[in-house]
Amino acid sequence: MQRSDIATGRAAMSVNFTYAKIKLLTPTVFLVLGVGGVLSSQFPLAASSGTAAPNKPVSDILTLKEDSGSVKAVAISPDGNTIASASTDNTIKLWNLNTGQKLRTLVGHTNWVNSIAFSPDGNTLASGSIDKTVKLWNLSTGEEIRTLKGHSLSVQSVAFSPDGNTLASGSWDQTIKLWDLTTGEVIRTLEGECDIINSLAFSPDGNTLASSNHFEKNIKVWNVSTGTVTRTLKGHTDIVNSVAISPDGKTLASGSWDGTIKLWNLSTGRENSTLKGDTNRVWSVAFSPDGKSLVSGGWDGTVRLWNVSQKQEIHSFTGHTNKIWAVAFNPNGKTIVSAGKDSTIKVWPVEQ
């Protein structure tokens, strides 16, 4: 894609979700849940070779099916009970993660919704759209709280600061805006060293913001207080589409169109390792709550679970029939959610 090809609007598609029956788990995969509900051991590994044991079939435990269109983004509430999905029908839908029941549809955007994020307290949802706006939603009532206007092109990513007071939005207009959520005003616009922004992630302390650059194929690390770039992470050979920061703030993961995931030391900017396994573009990455695992999804239609310390794939989940646009790790560590172009949202077990 060239810069001149960037479009600001696309035709909306009508999407109708139906809930599919819960499938039975295949009983041949053994997982151990550690103290306090934190995943301590995922899938069995080969004892001597250091490589992952062969995958054993695991069925998705819940499938939400679209009649048409795609799910562009998914997010899971802090309590682990609600899925939010962003769609090409210009709406956001809220689902009960345990039953599959549709709880509410949020209507207000006038074009595709690209990104969604729950506030840390779970009371507010933020959404970014091709319509160039960011919207804030009251999840108790489903009402729109406020529309944040200022971007001149599609908003690709939104992220809450850990304290919930600031929202970052990244756009095709090559800027990142930091918004004061009390006033709805822009605190600071990060630009100059920005390319098209595909993804944003805050560090756990809120002092650092990572952004993935489209054409430059790199990651910028920003000081939130000063608005300056502290590091540029280079190593990918194609567009970087997704970034995530580990819960301890030490590691940054990046997923790229070059088919790889890279793990970076956030303090030094050095590349720790490259995870290879995807056979096409990696579109989305997310850390587990304990930071020991990483989930990825991409254009080969496979969800992959990685052991971060051992730097290897420990399981893959197959069931999607087309490209995966988004993955999310449940804050309770027990499930993974994936969604994509095949018009489905799937919930996968990480423990049973």
220-238 pLDDT, tens digit per residue, is 999 999 999 999 999 999 9
pLDDT at 32: 27
Nearest to 227 by CA among 186, 183, 272: 186
Strands, sheet with 186-190, edge to edge from the N-terminal-most edge strand: 155-160, 166-171, 176-180, 186-190
More reliable by pLDDT, 131 or 29? 131
Q: Of 43-47, 186-190, 197-201, 212-216, which gets the smallest average pLDDT?
A: 43-47
| Distance of alpha carbon 117 from alpha carbon 313, whole angstroms | 27
pLDDT tens digits along 154-173? 999 999 999 999 999 999 99
pLDDT tens digits along 72-94? 999 999 999 999 999 999 999 99
**Residues 244-267, mean pLDDT to the nearest whole number:** 96
**Residues 146-152, mean pLDDT to the nearest whole number:** 98
pLDDT at 56: 62
Average pLDDT, the chain: 84
pLDDT at 279: 77
pLDDT at 54: 43
Q: CB–CB of 127/116 below 8 Å?
A: yes
Q: What is the pTM of this model?
A: 0.83
Nearest to 114 by CA among 277, 339, 348, 290: 339
- How many residues in the chain? 352
pLDDT band at 28 (very low <50, low <70, confident <90, very high): very low
CATH number of 58-349: 2.130.10.10
pLDDT at 319: 83
Q: Of 15-24, 63-72, 239-248, 279-288, which gets the smallest average pLDDT?
A: 15-24
More reliable by pLDDT, 4 or 37? 4
| Distance of alpha carbon 293 from alpha carbon 76, whole angstroms | 17
Name the percent of the chain lying above pLDDT 70: 82
Nearest to 307 by CA among 298, 318, 299, 296: 296
**Residues 200-227, mean pLDDT to the nearest whole number:** 95
Domains in the chain: boundaries = 58-349
pLDDT at 280: 82
More reliable by pLDDT, 128 or 12? 128
| Distance of alpha carbon 119 from alpha carbon 117, whole angstroms | 7
pLDDT at 57: 61
